[in-house]
Amino acid sequence: MKKIQSLIAALVITVGLSSCVVYETHTVTGNPIGTKKGVAKANAFKPNADYTMRTAAKKGKISKIGSVDTRVTVFIIPFYKTVVTGE
């Protein structure tokens, strides 16, 4: 019984400490990066959440997109974040 409890504890610690982060930056428009910044976020619990570039630009009141940063963090459940900068 102690071996099973130790195994379960080790499994919980391993899963709790493991994660994966994917981070990408895109500058494809040739527009200046600018000073404005818009952020759109979502996670697995919000299936209809909108974390697109358009939403991030709208939240930051950006009309000309200079760069786009996308980030996906998986820590048991995935979290999505899009950051748009521009003018």
Q: Contact at 8 Å (CB) between 57 and 86?
A: yes
Q: What digits encode the pLDDT tens for the residues 6-43?
A: 888 888 888 777 778 888 888 778 888 889 999 999 98
Beta-sheet strand order (sheet of 65-75): 20-26, 65-75, 77-86, 36-43
Q: Whole domain around residue 64: which residue ranges?
A: 19-86
What is the pLDDT confidence band of residue 74, given thresholds at 50, 70 and 90?
confident
Residue 51 belongs to some domain of the structure: yes
Q: What angle do CA 51, 46, 87 make, to 5 degrees?
A: 20
Q: How many domains does the chain have?
A: 1
Q: What is the mean pLDDT of residues 64-70?
A: 92
Residue 65 belongs to some domain of the structure: yes
Q: What is the pLDDT of residue 31?
A: 87
Residue 78 belongs to some domain of the structure: yes
Q: What is the pLDDT of residue 86?
A: 93
What is the pLDDT confidence band of residue 47, given thresholds at 50, 70 and 90?
confident
Residue 10 belongs to some domain of the structure: no
Residue 8 belongs to some domain of the structure: no
